[in-house]
Amino acid sequence: MLKIDLHIHTLHSGHAYGSFYDVVNEAKRKKMSMIAITDHGPDMIGASGWYHFGIGYRRPEYKNLKVLWGCEANIIDAKGNIDLNEDIQKKLDIILVGFHKMDKYKDAGIKGNTKAMISALKNPHIKVLTHPANGQYDYDFEKVCKAAIDNNVLLELNLAYLKNSNEEKLLMLKKMIDMTRSAGKKIIINSDAHFIHEIGDDSILKKYWTKLGLSKNIIMNNYPDELMKFLKK
Residue pLDDT, tens place only, 143-188? 999 999 999 999 999 999 999 999 999 999 999 999 999 999 999 9
Chain segment 67-80, per-residue pLDDT in tens: 999 999 999 999 99
Q: Of 230, 147, 150, 151, which Cα lies nearest the Cα of 188?
A: 230
What local confidence, expressed as pLDDT, does residue 103 receive?
66
Q: To the nearest 10°, the Cα dihedral for 224, 74, 8, 93?
A: 40
What amino acid is encoded at 205 in this protein? L
Q: Which domain holds residue 22?
A: 4-232
Specify the number of domains making up the chain.
Answer: 1
Whether this model's pTM surpasses 0.85: yes
Q: Using pLDDT thresholds of 50, 70 and 90, give the confidence band for residue 104.
A: confident
Burial class (CB in 10 A: 0-12, 13-18, 19+), 47: buried
Give me the CATH number covering residue 59: 3.20.20.140
Q: What CA–CA distances, in Å, run from 141 to 115, 163, 169?
A: 12, 20, 11
